[in-house]
Structures are given as structure tokens and as C-alpha cells.
Chain A
């Protein structure tokens, strides 16, 4: 074996070890969250965690249902705001926009992804929250405020993945449709959309993952009340907020209950990821 070959092999081994260390970190994190969070769930019964309505950890009431429902509401709201906007943007960029418009729009959208979430939260609390409170009522800190801000935050994810989906459609589909006399809009609606459907579904699911995982901006604008919101104007607490909000002072079973929150969040996000992989795998087939 020459010296060069030996070097090659060494470098390959080194890179392999680094790659596996990333995987092992994931495994360690998973084991840690589960080992910290599951004992207390089984001590009090998973039912009390999943379906309990009262979150008063100092009184041993660990009901996480308001937070599970809260995460669901806020995420659904974010999708209602972000998906139509994101799809519209992707359609314009791939179907209508001239090169010049695209050169302006694309970097702006990429910039959106680079803004730290605390800045979104700050804009939310200074602009959107007072706007909602004064015009629609309620405290302003609400499901609606969180949905609006999160809807904008998931835009880059939704847009870039649905652009990929539209671009993956063979150009012959589009050309054939136009040649048959369909208008551009008819082509988009009846040819491009069905052809890109699984990619768009993946975009929505990844946007959903981003919305569920977001913490900082949500804590600042959602109001964090541990109750199932009765209206879009009521405050809400998500699973991630619950952990970040109370980690500072939590000790003993309170701390373990926050890890249990993490376990539930982990399971939800894993399920979403598997779903996203499954749909994108179907797209390739």
C-alpha cells in the first residue's frame, strides 16, 4: 500500500467517524429525553399527561392537553396563513415571473429565513399584538397573533420546497397543455398542481414542523395561558413554550414533567418527519 493510499483510507475513516458522531449525538439526545421524561409519565399515568386539563406542576397537576391542543391550533393557523401565501409565491416565481422579478423576489424570500425568531417576536409584540387588541378585542396576545407571525416564518420553507416541486415537473407537461389551447392558469391548476402534488404536501409538512418547533417568537406573542383557547383571540401555550417558559426554575417532578412535554413533542415531530419522508419518497417513484 502506498503512502497516498494509506492517507486516503485514514481520511475516509476520520470522516466516517465524524459522520457517525452526529448520528450518535441524536441517539444520546433521544435516550436522554426519554429517560428523563417517561418515568414521571408512567408514575402518574400517561392518560393524566395526555388528557389532563390542569397544568399546576407545584400541585402535581401535569395535564398537557391544553398545550397539545395549543400547538395544534397555532400550527394550523400558521398553515392557513403561510401555505396560500407560499404557494402563490412559488407559482409566480416558477410560472409567471420574468427573470428580473425573480432576481428580486428570491433573495428577499431567502432573507426572510435569516431573520432571527426573536425579531419576529418583537415585531409581533410591538405591531401585531396592539393591532389585534385595539381592533378585534381580547388581550392581543393570542392564537391569531401567533398564527400570523408563524405563518410568515414558515414562508421560506414552504416557498423553496414548492418551487422545487414545480421545477421537478417535466417542461413537456406544461408545453403540451399550452399547445392544447389551455390558458396559463388552467395549465397551473389542472396540470402543474396535480403533477407537483406530493412535493407540495412535503412543503406543507415541513412548514408544519417548523411551526410546531418554533419557541421564542411564540412565547413573546401567544400569551402562554395553559388553557385550551376558546377563540382565536384567546391566549394559548404551545408544547415548546411550556418547556422554555418554565425550565429556568423547575426542579424535581416539575422538571421531569417538562421533559415529558419534550417526549410528546419529540413523538409528534418524528411522526411529521416520517410523513414528510414518506410523501417525498412517493414523489420520486
Chain B
């Protein structure tokens, strides 16, 4: 019995191999002419896109989805030029980019965080702007506590900083003197360590080590974001040049389905709607 199975196995294996080889050219040519689907852009969305693509390809083994990074601006550019069928952007489209078609696939809240021992519990949007612009330098001027404020920000080019710039600072610059960290995690670690620090991080990453401030009296939570009351929200966008191709449409539909959106929630983001 055993001998028999040993004998059969290689034959079947070889047969499958040959079949695979025979099909390979066909598969390749289809891949090239059908193009596969290329999704490129924001590195904030990329980890989610990777997971979406993974599950999507499991559901549809005949589809190929390539996910690439490059940043929001590069993604929008790729969608416009056709280098990617779908561009990913973790910031709103600028006026001159509005001719592209956008789909909100998820949303992310920005929390203004301080040390848990900081007596302050809420702050105003204009105060946040004044602090980050360097006009307010001490906690006394904010109304509570004392000492010089340690301002913590993200590095130039980061999507989180881009969103903060757009939602809070508008045209103003974040002060040169601000401490710069290169990830949400280190940003949070610095604020958790320094009783005089203030910073901004993705809402999904707020934990007990820091305190999220209410903004103009509105608490930073999912309900307030869904209701449109909390101001610091950035959309995660899929962008296509004109209406999406059938292939892109299918992927977008999957991302917006319950299954795709559950992934968004488990990753600490908010559903698209």
C-alpha cells in the first residue's frame, strides 16, 4: 500500500507540473494584457491595501493586485498618468486634483495628546495652532499648569503631519523649534515621557500612556467623528482618473464591502461610512 502511494505521488506531481508549465504562457500573456491592478500611493494606507489585496486575491485567484507605496502625491500622480489604475491618498485632494474621481475607503482621526498627568483636559483649535506655530510657549498661557511646552511633531513628508498641517495649521508653519519624531509610536512615547509635552497622533494609536484632549469641547472618539462633530479627521482616498475600470471597480467594491471595512476597524481606523 505504502509503496503504491509512493509510486503514484511523483507521477501526479509531474503531471501537475507539466500542466502548470503548459498554462504558464497563457497566464503570463493574460497578466500582461489584462495588466493586473496596480494600486499605488500613501504609505499610511499601504498596509491596509496590502491586506485587502491579499484577501481579494484569495477570493478571486485569477486576479492580480500590485500594491506600491510612494506617498499620497506620487499616488495621485500615478492615477493621473495611468501608471496605476488606483492612486491612494491620505489627504484631501487639492483644488487642481479635483478632476479625479475619489472614493473614501476609510477615515482616520487625529488626536491631540498630552502627558496623563497634565491637568488640562480640553483645548481649542486656535490654541493648538498657536502652540505649534510657537506663539504660545508656556502652559500658563494655555490656562493650566506651568512650564515651557514641549511641542512634538512628525517629520516633513509624513502623511500625519500633512493632515495636521492642513486641518490645524492651514498656511502657517509649525515652529522650527518643535521636536521631530519619525513615527506615531515614537511621538507617543515622547509625550508619554514628558509631562510638559504636546503632540498629535493617529486616533487609533491613543492608549493609556497619553491623554487625548477634547477639541473645542468635543471628545475625540469614533461616535463624534461619524457624526461630523470632531474636526481633525482625514479621509483615506482611492483615486481614479475618470470612472474606474471594471477591474478597479471590483476591487473598490470589495474594499467598501463589510469584509473590507472590518479590516479597517481592526487596524484602528474608522469605516468609510
Listed stretches A90-98, A133-141, A161-169, A201-209; interface member: A133-141
When the two chains form their complex, are residues B182 and A245 in contact, meaning their CB atoms are under 8 A apart?
Answer: yes
Write the A137-165 contact mask toward B (1 if CB under 8 angstroms, else 0).
01111000000000000000000000000
Contacts of A250 in B (CB 8 A): 156-157
When the two chains form their complex, are residues A248 and B182 in contact, meaning their CB atoms are under 8 A apart?
Answer: yes
Q: Quick check: is A89 within 8 A (CB to CB) of the other chain?
A: no
When the two chains form their complex, are residues B176 and A54 in contact, meaning their CB atoms are under 8 A apart?
Answer: yes
Listed stretches A73-81, A173-181, A217-225; interface member: A217-225
Q: Quick check: is B93 within 8 A (CB to CB) of the other chain?
A: no
Q: Quick check: is B181 within 8 A (CB to CB) of the other chain?
A: yes
Q: Which of B74, B189, B197 contacts A251 (CB 8 A)?
A: B74
Contacts of B157 in A (CB 8 A): 57-58, 246, 248-251, 254
Q: For residues 125 through 166 of chain B, which have their beta carbon under 8 Å from a beta carbon of chain A? A: 148, 150, 155-159, 162, 165
Q: Quick check: is A199 within 8 A (CB to CB) of the other chain?
A: no
Distance A237 CA – B153 CA, assembled complex (angstroms): 14
Contacts of B74 in A (CB 8 A): 251
A139-B150 contact in complex given A56-B156, A58-B156, A249-B43, C-beta closer than 8 Å: yes
Q: Quick check: is B193 within 8 A (CB to CB) of the other chain?
A: yes
Distance A251 CA – B73 CA, assembled complex (angstroms): 9
Distance A56 CA – B169 CA, assembled complex (angstroms): 14
Distance A23 CA – B182 CA, assembled complex (angstroms): 34
Q: Determine how close the nearest CB of chain A comes to the CB of B44; give it in whole angstroms.
A: 9
When the two chains form their complex, are residues B156 and A246 in contact, meaning their CB atoms are under 8 A apart?
Answer: yes
Q: For residues 38 through 90 of chain B, which have their beta carbon under 8 Å from a beta carbon of chain A? A: 43, 70-71, 73-74
Q: Quick check: is A234 within 8 A (CB to CB) of the other chain?
A: yes
A249-B177 contact in complex given A130-B193, A133-B194, A141-B190, C-beta closer than 8 Å: no
A249-B178 contact in complex given A59-B173, A133-B194, A140-B194, C-beta closer than 8 Å: no
Contacts of A227 in B (CB 8 A): 176-177
Q: Quick check: is B205 within 8 A (CB to CB) of the other chain?
A: no
Distance A130 CA – B71 CA, assembled complex (angstroms): 35
A225-B176 contact in complex given A249-B43, A251-B73, C-beta closer than 8 Å: yes
A-B contact count (CB 8 A): 80
Q: Quick check: is B179 within 8 A (CB to CB) of the other chain?
A: yes
When the two chains form their complex, are residues A224 and B179 in contact, meaning their CB atoms are under 8 A apart?
Answer: yes
Distance A53 CA – B157 CA, assembled complex (angstroms): 19
Sorting the interface of chain A by its residue count into under 10, 10 to 19, 20 to 34 or 35 or more gives 20 to 34
Q: Quick check: is B28 within 8 A (CB to CB) of the other chain?
A: no
Residue of B70, B71, B165, B177 most packed against chain A (CB within 10 A):
B177
Q: Quick check: is A129 within 8 A (CB to CB) of the other chain?
A: yes
Residue of A53, A224, A234 most packed against chain B (CB within 10 A):
A224
When the two chains form their complex, are residues B180 and A139 in contact, meaning their CB atoms are under 8 A apart?
Answer: no
Distance A59 CA – B172 CA, assembled complex (angstroms): 11
Q: Quick check: is A66 within 8 A (CB to CB) of the other chain?
A: yes
Contacts of A53 in B (CB 8 A): 176
Q: Quick check: is A259 within 8 A (CB to CB) of the other chain?
A: no
Contacts of A59 in B (CB 8 A): 173
Q: Which residue of A lies closest to B162 (CB)?
A: A58
Q: Which residues of A contact B (CB under 8 A)?
A: 53-59, 66, 125, 129-130, 133, 138-141, 219-220, 223-227, 234-235, 237, 245-246, 248-252, 254
Q: List 17 A-B contacts (CB under 8 A).
A: A54-B173, A54-B176, A55-B176, A58-B162, A59-B173, A139-B197, A140-B194, A220-B186, A224-B155, A225-B176, A225-B178, A237-B180, A245-B182, A248-B158, A249-B158, A250-B156, A251-B74
Give the 8 A-B residue pairs with the shortest CB-CB distance, closest first: A249-B157, A227-B176, A224-B180, A139-B150, A223-B179, A227-B177, A245-B155, A250-B157
